[in-house]
Amino acid sequence: MVSKKVILTFKKEVVDKPIVCELPKEFDLTFNILEAKILPRREGVLIMELIGEEEKLQKGLDYLIQNNVIVEFVEQKIKRDEEKCYHCGICISVCPPEALVIDDKKTMKVSFYPDRCIACGWCVKVCPVKAMSL
How far apart are the two ends of the chain, measured CA to CA in Å? 27
Residues 14 and 69 grouped into a single domain? yes
Domain range spanning residue 102?
78-133
Residues 93 and 105 grouped into a single domain? yes
Burial bucket for residue 115 (CB in 10 Å: 0-12, 13-18, 19+):
exposed
Q: What is the pLDDT of residue 78?
A: 81
Residues 43 and 99 grouped into a single domain? no
Overall domain count for the chain = 2
Task: Supply the pTM of this predicted model.
Answer: 0.75
Divide the 134 residues of the chain into consecutive groups of 10 and give the mean pLDDT of each group. 92 87 95 85 88 96 96 85 90 92 87 86 92 88
Q: What is the pLDDT of residue 43?
A: 87
Domain harbouring 12, CATH code = 3.30.70.260
Handedness of CA 10, 22, 115, 65 (dihedral sign): negative
Residues 6 and 65 grouped into a single domain? yes
Q: What is the pLDDT of residue 115?
A: 83
What ranges in 28-73 are assigned the alpha helix state H? 54-66
- Strand-pair partners of 9: 45, 70
Q: What is the pLDDT of residue 12?
A: 86
